[in-house]
A and B are shown apart, each in its own frame.
Chain A
Amino acid sequence: MADDVRTKPQQSANRIVNEPIPDATAGDGITGTGPLVYWRVFRTFVRNSLVRSMGFRANFWLECVSSVCWTIMNLVFFKIVFSYTDSIGRNTGWGENEFFVFLGTTWIITALIQTFVMPNAQEFSELIRTGHLDFALLKPIDTQFLISFPQMVWSNLANLFLGILLVGYAVLRLMADESNPLTLGFTQVGLYLFFILCGLVILYSVMIAMASTSIWLGRNQTLYTFWFYLTNFYRQPMEIYQQGMWGWTLWGFFTFVIPILLVVNVPARILAEPLRPGLDERTWSLAGLTLLVTLLMLGLSRWVFQAALTSYRSASS
Chain B
Amino acid sequence: MTVWRSRVRLWWAIFRVSVEERLVYRGDFAFGTLMRFLPMLTQIFLWWAIFDAMAARPGETSDVNAIRIKGYNLHDMIAYMLLVMLARAFSSMPGLTSGIAGSIQKGEIKKFLIQPVDMLGSLLIQRIAHKLVYYLIAIGPFALVFFLCRSFFDAGFPAPDQLFGLVLALVGSFLLGFAMEACLGLVAFWLLEVTSLAFIFMLLTFFLSGHMFPLDLMPAPLDRLIGMLPFQYLAYFPSAVALGKVTGEDLVWGLVIQYLWVIGCWVLCRWLWVRGLVRYGGYGG
* Chain A contact residues, CB within 8 Å of chain B: 58-59, 62-63, 65-66, 69-70, 73, 76-77, 80-81, 83-92, 222, 225-226, 229, 232-233, 235-237, 239-241, 243, 247, 250
A236 and B42 within 8 A (CB): yes
> Which of B16-24, B49-57, B246-254 is the interface stretch?
B49-57
Do B193 and A62 have beta carbons less than 8 Å apart?
yes
A286 to B49, CA, bound (A): 21
Asked if B132 is at the interface of the complex by the 8 Å CB criterion, the answer is: no
Inter-chain contact A80/B219, CB cutoff 8 Å = yes
10 closest A-B pairs by beta carbon, nearest first, are A62-B196, A240-B49, A89-B49, A90-B56, A240-B45, A232-B39, A229-B38, A87-B53, A73-B207, A85-B54
Question: Nearest-CB distance from B252 to chain A (Å)?
Answer: 30
Inter-chain contacts of A90 with B (CB < 8 A): 49, 52-53, 55-56
Q: Is B213 in the interface zone, CB < 8 Å from A?
A: yes
In contact, A81 and B50 (Cβ under 8 angstroms) = yes
The verdict on B217 contacting chain A, using a C-beta distance below 8 Å, is yes
Q: Using CB atoms and an 8 Å cutoff, list the residues of chain B in contact with chain A.
A: 28, 32, 35, 38-39, 41-42, 45-46, 48-57, 69, 193, 196-197, 199-200, 203-204, 206-207, 212-213, 217-219
A92: chain B residues at CB < 8 Å are 49, 53
Residue among A84, A232, A241 making CB contact with B50, cutoff 8 Å: A84
With a 10 A CB-CB cut-off, give which of B28, B46, B200, B219 has the most chain A CB atoms: B46
CB pair A236–B46 under 8 Å, yes or no, is yes
- Selected from A58, A62, A89, the residue in CB contact (under 8 A) with B53 is A89
Q: Identify the closest chain A residue to B70 (Cβ).
A: A84
13 inter-chain pairs at a CB distance below 8 angstroms, sorted by A residue, are A58-B193, A62-B197, A66-B200, A69-B204, A80-B218, A80-B219, A84-B54, A222-B28, A225-B32, A229-B35, A229-B38, A232-B39, A240-B48
A259–B83 Cα distance when bound, in Å, is 31
A101 to B203, CA, bound (A): 24
**How many whole Å from A217's CB to the nearest CB in chain B?**
13
Instruction: Give complex CA distance A24, B8 in Å.
Output: 77
CB-based nearest A residue for B56: A90
Chain A residues contacting B217 (CB-CB under 8 Å) are 80, 84
Residues of B with C-beta under 8 A to A63: 196
Starting from the known contacts A59-B196, A69-B200, 5 additional A-B residue pairs (CB-CB under 8 Å) come to A59-B193, A62-B196, A65-B200, A81-B50, A222-B28
**Contact A226 to B35, CB < 8 A, known contacts A63-B196, A73-B207:** yes
A232, B42: Cβ atoms closer than 8 Å: yes
Bound-state Cα–Cα, A250 to B213, Å: 23
CB distance from B283 to the nearest CB of A (A): 22
The complex places the Cα of A235 from the Cα of B46 at a distance, in Å, of 11
In contact, B53 and A86 (Cβ under 8 angstroms):
yes
Q: Are B41 and A250 in contact (CB-based, < 8 A)?
A: yes
**Residue of B28, B53, B217, B219 ringed by the most chain A CB atoms within 10 A:** B53
* Chain A residue nearest in CB terms to B218: A80
B49 lies within 8 A of A88 (CB):
yes
B contact residues around A66 at 8 Å (CB): 196, 199-200, 203
Quote the shortest CB–CB distance from B199 to chain A (angstroms).
Answer: 5
Cα distance, A88 to B51, chains bound together (Å) = 8
CB-CB < 8 A to B199: which residues of A?
66
* Shortest beta-carbon distance from A154 to chain B in Å: 16
Closest to A95 in B: B53
Instruction: Using CB atoms, name the residue of chain B closest to A221.
Output: B28
Task: Name the CB-closest residue of A to B68.
Answer: A84
User: Which residue in chain B gives the minimum CB-CB distance to A61?
Assistant: B196
Chain B residue with Cβ nearest A74: B212
**Residues of A close to B50: CB separation below 8 A:** 81, 84-85, 88
Does A86 lie within 8 Å of B206, measured CB to CB? no
Q: How far is the CB of B225 from chain A (nearest CB, A)?
A: 13
Asked if B203 and A73 make an inter-chain contact with CB atoms under 8 angstroms apart, the answer reads yes
Q: Which of B35, B49, B57 contacts A225 (CB 8 A)?
A: B35
- Please measure, in the bound complex, the distance between the C-alpha atom of A284 and the C-alpha atom of B161, giving whole angstroms: 57
Is the Cβ of B49 less than 8 Å from the Cβ of A239? yes
Q: Is the CB of B206 within 8 A of A73?
A: yes
Q: Are A91 and B56 in contact (CB under 8 A)?
A: yes
Taking the nearest CB of chain A, how far is it from the CB of B207, in angstroms? 5
Residues B212 and A77 in contact, CB atoms below 8 Å apart: yes
- Distance from B201 Cβ to chain A, minimum over Cβ atoms (Å): 10
The smallest beta-carbon distance between B194 and chain A, in angstroms, is 11
The interface residues of chain A lying within 8 Å CB-to-CB of B207 are: 73, 76
Question: Bound complex: CA of A232 vs CA of B44, how far in Å?
Answer: 12
What is the CA–CA distance of A83 and B222 in the complex, to the nearest angstrom? 14
Name A86's contact: one of B42, B51, B57, B213 (CB within 8 Å).
B57
List of B residues within 8 angstroms of A237 by Cβ:
49
Instruction: With a 10 A CB-CB cut-off, give which of B49, B207, B212 has the most chain A CB atoms.
Output: B49
Instruction: List residues of chain A with CB within 8 A of the CB of B45.
Output: 236, 240-241, 247, 250
On chain B, the residues within 8 Å of A240 by CB distance are 45-46, 48-49
Q: Are A85 and B53 in contact (CB under 8 A)?
A: yes
Residue on B with the closest CB to A89? B49
Q: How far is the CB of B21 from chain A (nearest CB, A)?
A: 18
Distance in Å: Cβ of B223 to nearest Cβ of chain A? 11
Could you say which of A66, A237, A243 has the most chain B C-beta atoms within 10 Å of its C-beta?
A: A66
Please judge, given known A-B contacts A225-B32, A232-B39, whether A84 and B203 are in contact too, CB under 8 Å.
no
The complex places the Cα of A88 from the Cα of B28 at a distance, in Å, of: 36
Nearest CB to that of B55 among chain A residues? Answer: A90
